[in-house]
Structure 1
Amino acid sequence: MQVAIVLYPGFTALDVIGPYEVLGRLPDTEAVFVAETPGAVRNDLGGLSVGVVARLDDVPAPDVVVVGGGSGQADQMSDGPLHAWLRRVDGPTTWMTSVCTGSLILAAAGLLGGRRATSHWGALDQLAGFGATPVNERVVIDGHYATGAGVSAGIDMALTLAGLLRGDDVARAVQLLIEYAPRPPYGSGSRDTASPEDVEKMFTLFAQG
């Protein structure tokens, strides 16, 4: 099984590294990073680069595709090589997946029309503009499309996918291997549970002009 993980300048690291850690550990699986242009692709924080070894066209029929989000997602919304590749491989793929605002890229490529999908809470409503039905859940599956909510939800999405691909026993074994047992020190991990003060602080710290 081949898993193609899409990178572009300004990707969010955990969006793609979380699924890479899960799916890349499945038996008989090759996880490959792909990009329009091979080379070092820098993340949205600027301090991490991932070396891409495959062009999009070098991976014509992956079994699974993972598209993450990040500040660079806005530059990937126009029709072009990435969208064309996504549409081309959508047919042969077993699973087309996204994490965070990666679902907006899938939607802009025309893949999520009439489908239920999720995204980061701050971008969730934008899915409707592309004909998708926004769903405020951590993982949403509709057909062969699996979308994860914001950033850390990529691990949940990948574990869900691992169970569907290789069985629940294998998925549980991978979960144990990576010791994924979240017990966060705070309860502000979603818009539904965060206080108004937490939301205001987040926008103060991280809002971009």
Structure 2
Amino acid sequence: MVSPSPLRIVALLFPDVTQLDLTGPAQVFSRLPDTEVHLAWHDTRPVVTDCGWSIVPTTTLADCPQADVLFVPGGKGAFDLFDDKVALDFLRRQAAGASWVTSVCTGSFTLAAAGLLTGRRATSHWSALPMLAELGAIPTSERVVIDGNRITGAGVTSGIDFALVLAARIFGDDVAKRVQLRLEYDPAPPFDAGSPATADPELVAATIGRVDEARLQAVRRAAARLGESAR
């Protein structure tokens, strides 16, 4: 299997990113052969994550090299990006030259707001997944969804699965399996509560209730802008 040399993975870093959406896949990426990982934002000052501590970008949106793999993690800040024209234009430009356009969790909403998932099957965190339809995507409740050169991962921890699937697509199954073994990725959760299909229904309902109205309104404003640009 032939891959670019080096393989350039560009991840969009932004305030209030869910750090595991980014760092889970990044740990897999760091073990891939001849691979560069670039963390891009408006400037190179530390960016505060949802955990309260910061990650330092490695490049700016203006100086970032062309991605072979474009990657958008999720988090509260993914919805704030809907109003960031510079960031959305960056994603569109990078996607035009990338072999793979990818996301984890609610990062799929940012891709969709940029018009990059229109008519595509995609997944996201289960609590927000149905709202993807407002942005022209086809919500698909699977751990990892592949539609053409778009690969989306579901919520948070799904990012590791996503990254291994991507690794297998680019470098082959053997490389992906070696990385999985080195990371000892062998999940054995203490509770059967990691999916709305198995969790307590009251807990599921309460979690959905925390998806606030402001988020839905942000999605609808982004959908209106997409409709205007399509005319």
- C-alpha separation in 1, matches of 2:189 and 2:205: 20
| Structure 1 contact 78–108 (Cα < 8 Å) conserved | no
Kindly tell me: are residues 90 and 178 of structure 1, through their superposed partners in 2, closer, same or farther at Cα, counting changes over 3 Å?
same
Residue 43 of structure 1 corresponds to 49
Provide the residue aligned with 2:162 in structure 1.
157
TM-score normalized with structure 1 length: 0.94
Give the alignment partner of residue 26 of structure 1, picking from 16, 26, 32.
Answer: 32
Amino-acid identity (%): 49
Q: In the alignment, what sits opposite 2:190?
A: 185
Q: Is the 8 A contact 1:188 1:195 kept in 2?
A: yes
3-state secondary structure, aligned to 1:4: strand
Shift of 1:38: 1.7
State which of 145, 150, 154 in structure 2 corresponds to 1:145.
150
Any idea what the Cα deviations from partners look like across 1:132-168, whole Å, max 9, x if unmatched? 1000000000011100000000000000000001010
Cα shift at 1:45: 2.6
1:56-86 deviation digits (Å, cap 9, x = unpaired): 1212411111101111122111250111011
Shift, 1:207, TM fit: 6.7
Name the structure 1 match of 2:223. none
Give the aligned residue type for 2:45. G
Does residue 13 of the first structure (1) align with residue 19 of the second (2)?
yes
Once the two structures are superposed, what CA deviation does each residue of 1:6-46 show, in whole Å capped at 9, x if it has no partner? Answer: 11000001000011011121000011111122210000131
Residues in 1 aligned to 2:21 and 2:132: alpha-carbon distance in whole angstroms:
18
In structure 2, the residue matched to 1:169 is 174
**Range with bigger deviation, 79-88 or 106-115:** 79-88
Is the 1:63–1:95 contact (alpha carbons within 8 Å) kept by the matching residues of 2?
Answer: yes
Identify the structure with the greater helix proportion.
2
3-state secondary structure, aligned to 1:3: strand
Structure 1 equivalent of residue 100 of structure 2: 95
List runs of 5+ in structure 2 lacking aligned partners: 1-6, 214-231
| C-alpha deviation, 1:101, in angstroms | 0.3
Q: Which runs of 4+ in 1 moved over 6 A?
A: 206-209
Contact 1:2–1:64 (Cα < 8 Å) also in 2: yes
Q: Distance in 2 between matches of 1:73 and 1:90?
A: 17
Structure-2 separation of matches of 1:116 and 1:79: 24
| Pair 30,136 (structure 1): closer, same or farther in 2 beyond 3 Å | same
CA distance in 1 between counterparts of 2:46 and 2:23 reads 15
Once the two structures are superposed, residues 96-136 of structure 1 have per-residue CA deviations (whole angstroms, 9 ceiling, x without a partner) of: 11000000000000000010000001110111011110000
Whether 1:136 aligns to 2:141 is yes
Equivalent position amino acid for 1:77 in 2: F
Rounded Cα–Cα distance in structure 1 between residues aligned with 2:166 and 2:118: 21
